[in-house]
Structure 1
Amino acid sequence: MGPEPDGSDGRTSLADIVGRVAAGTRTAGELSYAVIREGIITGLLAPGEHLRQEDLAERIGVSRIPVRTALMQLESEGLVSFHPHRGAVVRTLTVEQVREIYQLRELVEVHALRASIARMTSARAARLRELGELLDGPHERGTLHEQRTAFYRELYDAEDNPFAIGIIEDLRNVVNRYLVGRHVAHGLRYHRELARLAARGDADGAERTLRGYLDEYRRRVIEALADGDGT
């Protein structure tokens, strides 16, 4: 496991994650699981990285036993794999898995989009247009993730569709942790148009725009992963 960022360059460190989640966990096992999982999802613990139990235990401030238990749980969730003579490793993502993830995203997101449009209110429509303008315009440093999350939660009506939103965000996070530092979405400007169509109740048009975006983004993700493998 490589040296941990100290946070001086603006990046999150494992110590930052420990400090943030410690108050919300009751046991060493819960803390270990929450910290390692967030480290993987955010890309702090990179795909293919060897997860040494002693090192993680020291950095989290627990013994090896809860770390081992957390790694086994993360293995069952597909985030970690165990290899003979190497121990636990952050899982990598294959092209086939990317395709499956985007097939699932398309199914769930189209369903959520149409359900949301059927319940669209004038207040949500106005907020959606505002967020679409923000996302397709220039960004202040560090605001993109927050604005994107807000846009999709508004688009898919998170308040009345919490389970779908949870599935969508989990699927997005599985891919995003492999794309840290890669500007895969650069030049894609579709949020304004998607917001406009959804706000006016054009479910068919909004669905076409969404499917087109997911197809293009999937293609870019596969290219980025291939570049990262040196292929």
Structure 2
Amino acid sequence: MTSEVEPLRPPQSRVAYVVERLKEDLANGLIQPGEVIKQTVLAKRYGVSPTPVREALRALEADGTITYQPHRGASVREMAPEAAVDLYRMRASAESTATEMAVERMTPAGLRQIEAKHAELNKARAEGASAARLSQLNRELHFAIYAQSSQLVVDYLELLWSRFTPASTIWTGKHAGDLADDHEAIMEAIRRGDAKQASELMAEHILRASRIRAEDPEARAEGSQTDMDS
């Protein structure tokens, strides 16, 4: 009698590995919009040959994250102000829906994970962490919430977030307080199990970020609409 053995998952391809690492570095601000991407540098950083790096860049070019220019090579696409507004409107709609779904499906373990990320962000802010660190923790909190919905939703939202990799963050001293207050209100609604209010508060939180981007010259998107459409 033969025993059933669960088949081993195939190892992640080098190209998929590099794509994942690139997206992480973009989300964390390690690679900035307009910055020229050197394949040899990335290959050394990720411990692979230049070939999977080249293929990964082509994949990101296909989804609009990376752009190639003659005699310059690959760089992160810069987002125009108009496109940034469009993206935030899409995010507000999608992330409010994701939040509503998350609250509807919330488990005690899921709530503990969200509370932990919320506490970590608040602690970092109280200790004077850098804006870049606060931005990273903010992303982790948001996706801790969305993870309670479904992987399909998370994958879609990761794509939206990867489209905007700003050179600056809105998690600076003059904006961080308002953003943190938004988080507190969202968390209160989540704790109460009020999916509708949590959804509405999340939408307003995303739109607040859009207004900050539009009104603050230090956080404003700098690309041109022509560049975004090319």
**TM-score normalised by structure 1 residue count:** 0.67
SS of 2:220 mapped into structure 1? helix
Name the CA shift for 1:84/1:170 in 2 (closer, same or farther; >3 Å): same
Q: Give the match's secondary structure for 2:31.
A: coil
Q: Deviations over 1:56-76 (max 9, x none)?
A: 456556554433322211201
Which structure's relative contact order is higher, taking Cα pairs within 8 Å and 6+ residues apart?
2
Q: Distance in 2 between matches of 1:114 and 1:182?
A: 25
Structure 1 unaligned runs (5+)?
Answer: 1-23
Deviation at 1:25, TM superposition (A): 4.9
Q: Which SS does the other structure have where 1:81 is aligned?
A: strand
The residue that corresponds to 1:155 in the other structure is 145
1:80 is aligned, of 56, 66, 69, to: 66
Q: Establish whether residue 165 from structure 1 lines up as the match of residue 151 from structure 2.
A: no
Q: Indicate if the aligned counterparts of 1:190 and 1:213 stay in contact, CA closer than 8 A.
A: yes
Shift in alpha-carbon separation, 1:219–1:63, aligned structure 2, 3 A: same
Q: How large is the Cα RMSD of the aligned pairs? A: 3.5
Which residue of the partner structure matches residue 193 of structure 2?
201
How many Å apart are 1:127 and its aligned residue? Answer: 6.3
Q: Which of 212, 216, 226 is matched with 2:204 structurally?
A: 212
Q: 2-side partners of 1:163 and 1:103: how far apart? A: 20
Matched, 1:178 2:170: no
SS at the partner of 1:82? strand
2:99 aligned partner: 113
Which SS does the other structure have where 1:226 is aligned? Answer: coil
Q: Distance in 2 between matches of 1:200 and 1:122?
A: 12
Amino acid in the other structure paired with 1:178: P
Write the mapping of 1:17-166 to structure 2, written as runs, cut at 5 A. 25-27=12-14, 29-57=15-43, 62-120=48-106, 128=114, 132=118, 135-136=121-122, 138-140=125-127, 141=129, 144=134, 148-149=138-139, 151-156=141-146, 158-166=147-155
Q: Give, in angstroms, the shift of residue 87 of structure 1.
A: 2.3
Q: How far off its partner does 1:206 sit?
A: 2.4
CA deviation vs aligned residue, 1:93-140 (integer Å, no higher than 9, x gap): 112221222122122222122223333456655765665465456445
Corresponding residue of 1:226 = 220
Relative to structure 1, is the Cα distance of residues 51 and 107 closer, same or farther in structure 2, using a 3 angstrom cutoff? same
Distance 1:123 1:55 in 2: 40
State the alpha-carbon separation in 2 of the partners of residues 88 and 129 from structure 1: 39
C-alpha separation in 2, matches of 1:94 and 1:226: 9
CA distance in 2, matches of 1:159, 1:212: 20
Deviations, residues 8-57 of structure 1 (Å, cap 9, x unaligned): xxxxxxxxxxxxxxxx7544x44544444443333222211222445545
Task: For 2:192, give the aligned amino acid.
Answer: R
Counterpart secondary structure, 1:78 = coil
Structure 2 unaligned residues grouped into runs of 5+: 1-10, 224-230
* 1:88 CA drift (Å): 1.8
The percentage of aligned residue pairs carrying the same residue is 26
Q: AA paired with 1:168?
A: L
The count of corresponding residues between Structure 1 and Structure 2 is 203
